[in-house]
Structure 1
Amino acid sequence: MLYPSIDSLLKKINSKYTLVSVAAKRAREMQQNNDQQIEKTKSVKFVGKALEEIDANLLYYEKSDAK
């Protein structure tokens, strides 16, 4: 079973596309800066760590009204 589950993640960010975009951007940021917000993660890879941050409400997405 995958952790965190897609169901719990979609409660935080309601679009799969947005979820993937936010996690990928945060994963790149973590890889460059080595600044994860969770001490002990279950995931080894950066994308998994980013998803864990989203699930722990440490990372979120706000929709902008940019045109």
Structure 2
Amino acid sequence: MTQVAIEELLKRCGSVYKLVILAAKRAKEIAEGAPPLVETEQRKVTSIALEEILHGRVLYQAEEPAGPGKRSRARPGDGDRRAGGKAKEEKKKRAAT
């Protein structure tokens, strides 16, 4: 596989964005030592990942969103950021009581 038609890969993933995410994550796994799931002469981890996707060895699965009570990170408007750095002081006071 020297060049893969994007149409064939899109049939597997359904979206360019999903394809990019899937290929990048799988390429990272291969780079970190995971064995390839297909027999290939390719050397580049991205090419190996795309070939695996083409052969249906790697599938896209959406990650679970953070559940109730779990926050990924603070955002403006969440009440954690207040002018003058008072939020940190208030957190310390709450933790001490």
TM-score normalised by L of structure 1 = 0.81
Displaced runs of 4 or more, over 2 A: 62-67
Higher-Rg member (1/2)? 2
The structural deviation recorded for 1:59 is: 0.3
Corresponding residue for 1:44?
43
RMSD: 1.8
Corresponding residue for 1:35?
35
Which structure has more relative contact order (CA 8 Å, sep 6+)? It is 1
Distance 1:64 1:34, change over 3 A: closer
Corresponding residue for 1:58?
57
- How many pairs does the alignment contain? 65
TM-score normalised by L of structure 2 = 0.59
The structural deviation recorded for 1:4 is: 1.9
Give the stretch that moved more between structures: 43-52 or 57-66: 57-66
The structural deviation recorded for 1:65 is: 5.6
Gaps in structure 1 of 5+ consecutive residues = none
Gaps in structure 2 of 5+ consecutive residues = 67-97
